Amino acid sequence: MSDEKLLYSFEVTRQVEKTVEEKSTDETGAEITKKTKTLVDEPVKVVIKRPNRRQGDEAEIEYAVHFSAMVRKGLVSKAILLDQANGVMAESDVKELKRLSNELEKIQGEYIKTGAFAQGKKKEAKVKELTDKNTAIAKEILALENKYRSIFENTAESKAELRRMTWYRLNLSHIEEDGKLSPIYSGETFDEKMESYYQKEEEPDETYSKISQKLALVFAILQYNWGASKEEIDEILKNVESGE
């Protein structure tokens, strides 16, 4: 597939049983072929496609629907949480989070208007600028929220963000074999893909477990930086896997 449609790719290994032929000669000099079965490592290529504009819009709708559903179920939004955070959070942290959240919302709105999911040389500079700003602010927000992780992990936004990233994972993740892509999660609708996801997670084989762990890490990185290059993602993964 063309590079502009590829967001990221990686390989894992799986063991497959193959028949191996061993040739030798007997006492008369006649050739003997002995066939034995053995397990060999075989690479499996996983490809994450770049979301197109339609998919970006659908993911945002999924976020909005799930956010509303979580609010109806009683989860508070971050805005309400911050308004009620006196005594639980430092006042300076509350003010800074409100400021950063407003900045991030403006940048993400501009990001969507620019058509960041569409590729083209004319848009590259603007997209890179917005991506860098988005990443920098998101890191500041994450650093502050990590101080109060137990408070923020159950907000409506946190649950909706997880849902959006799950949507991307289920729709963008593929296995490449002989130049052809096959979706990792089967189904036509999001609900059908979710059912496929649950089945694979509940009864994983060794190969899928490797793929699932790597996908979880990659999409966690992409959540705040869709413009990250393969090299940048590789570097972050290297640091995470080494415990840095």
| pLDDT tens-digit series, residues 121-147 | 566 677 777 777 877 777 777 777 776
Contact 167, 62 (CB under 8 A): yes
Range of the domain at 105: 46-227
Is 38 part of a structural domain of the chain? no
Within a domain: 93: yes
Domains contained in the chain, number: 1
Q: What is the CA radius of gyration of the chain?
A: 23
Q: pLDDT band for position 228 (50/70/90)?
A: confident
Asked, for residue 101, whether it belongs to a domain, the answer is yes
Kindly indicate the confidence band of residue 66, based on its pLDDT and cuts at 50, 70 and 90. very high
Q: How far apart are CA 54 and CA 243, in angstroms?
A: 37
The better pLDDT of the pair 145, 176 is held by 176
Judge whether 39 lies within some domain.
no
Q: How confident is the model at residue 154 (pLDDT cuts 50, 70, 90)?
A: confident
Please choose, from the candidates 124, 226, 123, the residue with its C-alpha nearest in 3D space to the C-alpha of residue 172. 226
Residue 223 in any domain: the answer is yes
Does residue 3 sit within a domain?
Answer: no
Best CA proximity match to 82, nearest among 72, 68, 93: 93
Whether 53 is covered by a domain: the verdict is yes
Per-residue pLDDT band at 88 (split at 50, 70, 90): low
Contact 173, 215 (CB under 8 A): yes
Cβ–Cβ under 8 Å, residues 133 and 36: no
Task: Identify which has the larger pLDDT, 118 or 37.
Answer: 37
Nearest in space to 11 (alpha carbons), one of 58, 39, 46, 54: 46
Task: Determine, yes or no, domain membership for 99.
Answer: yes
Taking the C-alpha atoms of residue 10 and residue 172, their distance in angstroms, rounded to an integer, is: 14
Least-confidence region, from 84-98, 164-178, 184-198: 84-98
pTM over 0.85: no
